[in-house]
Amino acid sequence: MKSAVMLAAILTAFASSAYGSTIYGSYDEFYAAQSRAAFGGPIEHDASVLYSDRRGDVYGDFGVELDGKTVHVEIAENRMTIGGKIYRFSNAATFPGEHPVEIYPGSASIFFAKQMRHHPSALCVEGSSNGSGEANRHRQIYLLINPFAAKKDVTFLHLPSLLSSCRAVLATKDGKLAFPKNSYLVDDAQESRIGLSMSYYVFEKRRFVPVLNDIRLRFVRPDVPFQFSVQDTE
């Protein structure tokens, strides 16, 4: 056990030297460090407190402060309710290749960003779903742009799930909200996953449109994506 710990430390030190950049131990840490991150931390909430409606559906209740008032946001397995308006996950504009999946309400987190000069207001929900194997590498993420507007004026999106988070959403210089589609990078033999390619998109004119430059991450150890550095693009 001791030798394994020492080996991990040596690999970490070598990777830091080889790529000349910070070694990140989590994606939340990496996303939070981005200068144009749209969201800060999640809204404070007691995840152990859940409620049940008349139909027996379980949900979590979150309070979002807006203009001195508290707007209640309820997260059930297959929908969210914002101030009485229902948004079913199956109705979200879904990124190609993704599929709306139910969220366990006790795992849900909500992020809120007020309208700023450089981007609109936004509310983001993320949570876990049932699964095995590498399911823990996926988060179900739903983004609402202008969430408290009339329902017809709200943009409701289901974002890519692999190693992503609401924290991954960025505000672009022209006032749009961009989010990554993450894909594994493999070695020359196509045998090991050695990193991650992050391609950013925005949603405009009812389409997902690529923007920004791709970011590449390099794993400290092949096939272990939870410790990594930003790959030098030179």
- How many angstroms separate the Cα of 152 from the Cα of each of 85, 135, 139, 144? 11, 33, 27, 12
pTM reported for the whole predicted model = 0.88
DSSP H or E run through 55: none
Q: Tokens 């999946």, residue?
A: 101
**Digits of tens for pLDDT over the chain (234 positions)?**
444 444 344 334 433 434 447 999 999 999 999 999 999 999 998 988 999 988 889 999 999 998 889 999 999 999 999 999 999 999 999 999 999 889 999 999 999 999 987 789 999 999 998 877 898 999 999 999 999 999 999 999 999 999 999 999 999 989 999 999 999 999 998 899 999 999 999 999 999 999 978 999 999 999 999 999 998 654
> Cα separation of 198 and 77, whole Å?
28
Q: What are phi and psi of 105, to 5 degrees?
A: -55, -35
Count CB atoms within 10 A of the CB of residue 197.
15
Helices (H), 24-109: 27-32
Domain boundaries, the chain: 2-230
